[in-house]
Structure 1
Amino acid sequence: MSRQRTMETILASEFVSIGELVRLTESRYSTLKFYTEEGMLPFEQAEENLTRKYIRLATVARIHLIKELKSNGLTIPQIKEALDKDE
């Protein structure tokens, strides 16, 4: 069983896990997994254990943008299009 990193450690890290993103953004794990599978959240994958790592600052900002677009009534395809333009 793995131990959770402290919030202080997470905030000092360049890369975070999806579970840590859940804590940082108060989002559901299943929601972030969906966004990842839809290509909305870029990640790096470590070869040795296939763990996905997300760049903390960029990914948290992107999640907040997705939430904002969603609250403005955009659909997932519209959000994906907006994210593509933002890159």
Structure 2
Amino acid sequence: MRTVITLPDQMHARAKRRAAELGISFAEFTRRLFEKELVAPEPQGDLESICGMVQGTPFDMARDGHSIIGTAIAAELAQRSV
């Protein structure tokens, strides 16, 4: 498939220079950039082990976040005043 992309003159020149430095065509250079950007990221750990780190009653941070943070701050302040 053929695609037309418009680049600013300076960016086009820099990309062509970089492709030449790598010894590849401008088209191959742009394909590699797209491939690098579109590849799925590697998982950052085992989801099961991450979920196992949370203990206690499940909560909804979007719904309950202010209350949870307020409780944590109150507990911290209470410990400091002891």
Q: TM-score, normalised by structure 1?
A: 0.26
**Bigger CA radius of gyration:** 2
Q: TM-score, normalised by structure 2?
A: 0.27
Per residue, is there more strand in 1 or in 2? Answer: 1
